[in-house]
């Protein structure tokens, strides 16, 4: 569970601000089916087919170079078989969140935030495949956590646009404090905590909630510290690869405890960076989907 002191103001934002905390009915049903190990691709495809835009995204991703399928995939159920339930779940969630949270009113570059989030999600796969298998970590749980780890930024920007613009301006100054520190100074909360609140509201499992809420402090998680550490490391790798969430803003230094938690040596960083570069080159389809939605 997530343990954090949250001002009532932000509980109210997540609980009742417009449509922010509410998943569309079709999406909620799709996620319910995709979370059921006994469900069929045909059942999920029928539901996804009710949303033409979502169907197009699934097909486009399945036919992207990221998956390297030698033939054209022409049906949603085929795409689901190729991609797997958890990847489709990640895509459905990301596409839905972008739509729900809109474009914002402030100076935040939402496209950069989402490109960083996708790069972080890709980096989680690299990290888990290299370091996490021996710890029993789930690749797709890490992927989805990475994809959603900046969701709190979008909520704060949408709900507190003027104030959050001030936060970003202060964070971009020379020798500024890390962004989460400035968020707490101005707003009494930081974006990971807000993201964790939304994950709670949506009823996401602990393996997603804790990495979203506690990736800045993975040791604080009682049961998911390894996944939280993976997300922090993956976010760092995404920045190093040239896909930061914010230009010219210090987010936070990489916590050495990440390597202790993952039982790894920092010497692996260059290898992880190289592997992520290759993943990003293959993931043009996923980036195109995000770009088209923001």
**Could you give the CA distance from residue 255 to residue 61 in angstroms, rounded to a whole number?**
34
**Could you give the CA distance from residue 43 to residue 58 in angstroms, rounded to a whole number?**
15
pLDDT in tens, 119-157: 998 999 999 988 877 788 888 788 888 988 998 998 888
Of the spans 11-25, 26-40, 231-245, which averages the highest pLDDT? 231-245
**Could you give the CA distance from residue 294 to residue 276 in angstroms, rounded to a whole number?**
23
Domain ranges of the chain: 8-293
12 pLDDT exceeds 60? yes
**Could you give the CA distance from residue 257 to residue 89 in angstroms, rounded to a whole number?**
30
CB atoms within 10 A of CB 38: 6
pLDDT in tens, 208-264: 889 999 999 999 988 899 999 999 999 999 999 999 999 888 777 899 999 999 999
Q: How far is CA 82 from CA 63, 67, 126, 133, in A?
A: 10, 8, 20, 22
Q: Name the CATH superfamily housing domain 8-293.
A: Hypothetical protein af1432 (1.10.3210.10)
Backbone phi, psi, residue 106, to 5°: -95, -155
Q: CB-based contacts of 205: which residues, under 8 Å, 6+ apart?
A: none
Looking at residue 103, its pLDDT comes to 60
22 pLDDT exceeds 60? no
pLDDT in tens, 60-97: 777 766 666 666 788 888 888 877 777 787 777 766 66
**Could you give the CA distance from residue 119 to residue 251 in angstroms, rounded to a whole number?**
16
The percentage of the chain sitting over the pLDDT mark of 90, rounded to a whole number, equals 29
Res. 98 pLDDT band, cuts 50 70 90? low
């Amino acid at each position: 569970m997530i343990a954090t002191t949250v001002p009532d103001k932000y509980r109210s934002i997540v609980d009742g601000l417009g449509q922010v905390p509410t998943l569309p009915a079709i999406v909620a049903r799709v996620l319910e089916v995709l979370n059921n190990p006994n469900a069929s691709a045909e059942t999920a495809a029928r539901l996804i087919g009710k949303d033409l835009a979502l169907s197009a995204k699934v097909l486009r991703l399945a036919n992207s170079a990221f998956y390297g399928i030698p033939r054209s995939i022409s049906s949603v159920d085929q795409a689901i078989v190729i991609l797997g339930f958890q990847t489709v779940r990640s895509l459905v969630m990301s596409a839905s969140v972008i739509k729900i949270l809109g474009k914002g009113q402030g100076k935040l570059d939402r496209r950069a935030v989402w490109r960083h989030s996708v790069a972080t999600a890709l980096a989680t796969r690299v990290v888990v495949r290299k370091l996490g298998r021996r710890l029993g970590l789930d690749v797709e749980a890490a992927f989805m956590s990475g994809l959603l780890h900046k969701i709190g930024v979008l909520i704060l920007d949408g709900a507190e646009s003027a104030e959050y613009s001030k936060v970003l301006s202060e964070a971009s100054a020379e020798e500024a404090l890390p962004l989460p520190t400035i968020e707490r100074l101005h707003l009494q909360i930081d974006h990971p905590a807000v993201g964790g609140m939304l994950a709670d509201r949506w009823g996401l499992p602990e393996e997603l909630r804790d990495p979203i809420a506690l990736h800045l402090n993975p040791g604080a998680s009682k049961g998911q510290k390894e996944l939280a550490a993976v997300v922090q490391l993956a976010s760092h790798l995404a920045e190093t690869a040239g896909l930061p969430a914010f230009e010219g803003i210090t987010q936070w230094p990489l916590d050495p405890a990440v390597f202790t938690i993952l039982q790894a040596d920092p010497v692996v960083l260059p290898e992880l960076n190289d592997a992520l570069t290759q993943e990003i080159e293959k993931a043009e389809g996923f980036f195109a989907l995000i770009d088209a939605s923001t």
